[in-house]
Amino acid sequence: MDIKILHIDSNHPVLWDQLQHSGFINHSDFNSSKEEIEAKIQDYQGIVIRSRFKIDKTFLDKAANLQFIARVGAGLESIDCEYATSKNITLIAAPEGNRNAVAEHTLGMILSLFNKLNQADSEIRAGHWNRESNRGHELDGKTVGIIGYGNMGKSFAKKLRGFDVKVLCYDIQENVGDANAKQLSLTEFQQKVDVLSLHIPWSPETNKMVDSDFINGFTKPFWIINTSRGKNIVTADLVAALQSGKILGAGLDVLEYEKLSFETLFNDKHTPEAFQYLLKAKNVILTPHVAGWTFESHQRLAQVIVDKIKAKYFGQAKDVEPE
C-alpha cells in the first residue's frame, strides 16, 4: 500500500509516528502557500490539516487522487464538504478528541464568572481588598441550557452531574436528550434557562444565531458561555444585552472577529467598538480559542485521527472512540 499523506500543520508526534508505523508515507509542508500546496496535491492520497487555509473547490479540483481529508479538530467548516463528498473524498474529524477539554473549560468559565475570580484576582493585585463587591453566585439551583447536544454538549452535561442543577438541551436533531439533559423545544428552553452554553458548529443556520431577537426571547436574564464558534454570536448585540442587564455575564473562548486560522485575532488593525467594551467589562471572561486545546487533548485529537485513518484502510480500529 502506497498511501502518501501530506501534513500541512504540525500536530502531536503520535499522529506521524503511528501512521508511519502502519505503512503510510508521510510528507510535511508547514510553510508553503495554498497555491504551492495545490501545485503538488495531486501526488497525495491523504491530507492532514488543522486550520491553515480553506479547502475549497479550486483546491479539490487539483487534488485528483485525494482519498481523505483529516482535520485535527472538531469542525469541518474550513472544508467544502459537499464538493469533497461528491468527489468520494472521506472527511475525517475528531470531536471525540477534545470534548472533555471543552467541557472542563466551559465549567471553569461558569464558575469563574459566578465567583468573580478574575475580577477579584486583578483587584487584589492592584492592592484592593473588596469582599462585598466580589460576593458570588452558586451554580446549585440554577437551570443550565445547552444548545447543540452532540459530542461537546453531552460531555459538558456529564460534568454537571455533580451539581444540584437542572440541565436542558436544545438541538435540531430529535431525540438526542438523555439522562443528563432533558430536550425541549426552543421556546420552552428559553423560558427556563439561567445559564446558556453554546456547543454548535458554524454553519449557515447558526451564523449570527445569537442576535438581539434571540437574546430577548429568553424569559430571564442569563449568563452565556461560547466555546463553539465566534460567528455564532453577534457581538454588538451581546454587548447591548450586557449593558441592559439581559445578559448577566459572558465567557467567550471564541470571537466573531477571529481569522479562519485561529492564530491571530483580527484581519486588520481595527479594533471593533463592541470588542473594546468586552475588554473592559468585569463580567466578561475571554480566552483565545483554547477550550479544546489542552496538553491531553493535543494527543487525544491526534490519536483519534490516526485511528480513523487506519479504520478507513484496515477496518474498524479498536482504539477509535465511539461517536
Average pLDDT over residues 208-236: 97
- pLDDT value for 321: 40
Q: Count structural domains, the chain.
A: 2
User: Which residues contact residue 264 at a Cβ distance below 8 angstroms, ignoring those fewer than 6 apart?
Assistant: none
The residues with which 170 forms a beta bridge, in sequence order, are: 147
Q: Is 21 a catalytic residue?
A: no
pLDDT at 318 over 60: no
What would the pLDDT profile of 50-96 be if each residue is shown by its tens digit? Answer: 988 899 999 999 999 999 999 999 889 889 999 999 999 999 999 99
Average pLDDT over residues 12-29: 96
Give the sign of the dihedral formed by CA 243, CA 247, CA 249, CA 252.
negative
150 with 274, same domain: the answer is: yes
Give the sign of the dihedral formed by CA 102, CA 158, CA 142, CA 136.
negative
Q: Which of 229, 256, 298, 300 is labelled catalytic?
A: 229
> Within a domain: residue 322?
no
The model's pTM is: 0.91
CB atoms within 10 A of CB 288: 14
- pLDDT value for 264: 63
What's the pLDDT band for 316 if we cut at 50, 70, 90?
A: low
198 with 216, same domain: the answer is: yes
The residues with which 249 forms a beta bridge, in sequence order, are: 223
- pLDDT value for 323: 34
Domain hosting residue 208, numbered range:
99-286
Whether 80 and 57 have beta carbons less than 8 Å apart is answered as: yes
The span from the CA of 80 to the CA of 322, in Å, is 25
Q: Which of 39-43, 216-220, 319-323 has the lowest mean pLDDT?
A: 319-323
CATH number, residue 31: 3.40.50.720
Average confidence score pLDDT of the chain: 93
pLDDT at 99 over 50: yes
What would the pLDDT profile of 177-197 be if each residue is shown by its tens digit? Answer: 999 999 999 999 999 999 999
The span from the CA of 99 to the CA of 220, in Å, is 29
Q: Is 71 a catalytic residue?
A: no
61 with 141, same domain: the answer is: no
pLDDT at 265 over 70: no
What's the pLDDT band for 315 if we cut at 50, 70, 90?
A: confident
Q: Is 296 a catalytic residue?
A: no
43 with 165, same domain: the answer is: no
Q: Which of 7, 199, 258, 300 is labelled catalytic?
A: 258
118 with 217, same domain: the answer is: yes
pLDDT at 257 over 80: yes
